[in-house]
Amino acid sequence: MLGASFDTPEENRTFADAEHFGYRLLSDTGRDVGRAYEVARDAADEHGGYPMRIAYLIDPEGTIRRAYQVSDVEGFAGTVVDDLAELRGE
């Protein structure tokens, strides 16, 4: 599990420490990864400085198997675990 944001490495470290975030956070200040994964917002958007909260379930071969518009942060992990089980045929 990786997270990515448009914040600097220092800002990511501060966030991870404050929130006890147990996963690696990648810093995408140039927004290249954000554009590639279609999470960067239009500059005219009122939240244009922030990426959309989208997550991807990517298999070992690099194929995106599921995409999630994350709105329910609490229930999100359970959804991904269920999808992993389904993809594994469990």
pLDDT tens string 16-56:
999 998 888 999 999 999 999 999 998 899 998 889 999 99
Q: In the block, which residue shows the tokens 């009122």?
A: 46
* pLDDT score of 11: 96
* CB-based contact 3:23 (threshold 8 Å): yes
